[in-house]
């Protein structure tokens, strides 16, 4: 059977169950494993010798937290990450993750003059990790992210998106022309979302934290991970199944 694609409601339900008394995971654990999977995906596709400079774009929610974890791991992998987060998350866990990056001497772009500083950073970036919006995103895209997404899209720099490309609808995909990023690589977390069925780039899954019991309960039909890998590449969905 083919892997199951998730609706927004089902993705939220699985997340809640993972962190319930039944699933017994903490948010810290899930972010650490998700961020590690994102870092491994980028490292697999973009070799650090050719693509050393990574701009990690973080939104204010849990997606941004995944990005901060990925930035720390990328630094330990030998890349040169820089963090861009124009609206830092207010949760204590977000602040701790950012402090961990600061302690790794990973620079953060100052929030002032957001678009100007973003444009300058992109001019010296080899690859972008897009961790801005997650599956709970609801349009419209508000400032400063609306202009920022346009700048990122026009930069020509390769993009790796986390879970769903920023600006896409979690179920409808890229439903508004000219809005939303067009990544080269996507790393879905837990299981892919309905909105990325038509994604044409390289598609990876990072969700090795999903238990067998939960996989069976939600009929996820997840692929096997090789050895100690935290990611597995997914085949494109055939056109007749879109």
Return d(Cα 68, Cα 74) in angstroms, integer. 10
Question: Which domain covers residue 50, as residue numbers?
Answer: 8-224+231-236
Domain assignment of residue 3, yes or no:
no
**Structure-token pair, residue 10:** 């089902």
Domain assignment of residue 201, yes or no:
yes
Domain assignment of residue 211, yes or no:
yes
pLDDT digit string (tens) for 29-39?
999 999 999 99
Q: Please give the model's pTM, rounded to 2 decimal places.
A: 0.94
What residues are designated binding site for (6S)-NADPHX?
A: 62-66, 134-140, 163
What residues are designated binding site?
A: 62-66, 130, 134-140, 163, 166
- Per DSSP bridges, beta strands 232-234 and 202-206 are antiparallel
pLDDT digit string (tens) for 127-168?
999 999 887 777 778 888 888 898 999 999 999 999 999 989
218-233 average pLDDT score: 96
Total tally of structural domains belonging to the chain: 1
Domain assignment of residue 53, yes or no:
yes
Q: Which residues of 196-218 are buried (b: 16+ CB within 10 A; e: fewer)?
A: beebebbbbbbbbbbeeebbeeb
Domain assignment of residue 1, yes or no:
no
DSSP state at residue 6:
B
Domain assignment of residue 146, yes or no:
yes
What residues are designated binding site for K(+)?
A: 63, 130, 166
Domain assignment of residue 73, yes or no:
yes
The CATH number for 194's domain is 3.40.50.10260
Domain assignment of residue 191, yes or no:
yes
């Amino acid at each position: 059977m083919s892997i199951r694609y998730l609706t927004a409601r089902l993705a939220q339900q699985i997340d809640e169950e993972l962190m319930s008394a039944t699933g017994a995971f903490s948010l810290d654990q899930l972010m650490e494993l998700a961020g590690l999977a994102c870092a491994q995906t980028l490292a697999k596709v973009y070799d650090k010798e050719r693509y050393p400079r990574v701009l990690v774009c973080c939104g204010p929610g849990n997606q941004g937290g995944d990005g901060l974890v990925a930035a720390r791991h990328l630094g330990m992998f030998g890349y040169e990450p820089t963090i861009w987060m124009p609206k830092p998350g207010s949760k204590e866990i977000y602040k701790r993750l950012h402090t961990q990056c600061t302690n790794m001497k990973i620079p953060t772009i100052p929030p002032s003059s957001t678009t100007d500083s973003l444009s300058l950073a992109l001019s010296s970036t080899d690859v972008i990790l897009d961790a801005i919006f997650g599956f709970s995103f609801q349009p419209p895209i508000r400032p400063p992210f609306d202009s920022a997404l346009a700048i990122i899209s026009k930069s020509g720099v390769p993009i790796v998106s986390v879970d769903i490309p920023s600006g896409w609808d979690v179920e409808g995909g890229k439903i508004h022309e000219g809005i939303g990023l067009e990544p080269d690589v996507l790393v879905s977390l837990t299981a892919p979302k309905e909105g990325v069925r038509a994604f044409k780039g390289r598609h990876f899954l990072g969700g090795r934290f999903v238990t067998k019991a939960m996989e069976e309960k939600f009929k996820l039909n997840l692929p096997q991970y090789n050895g100690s890998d935290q990611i597995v590449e997914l085949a494109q969905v055939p056109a007749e199944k879109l």
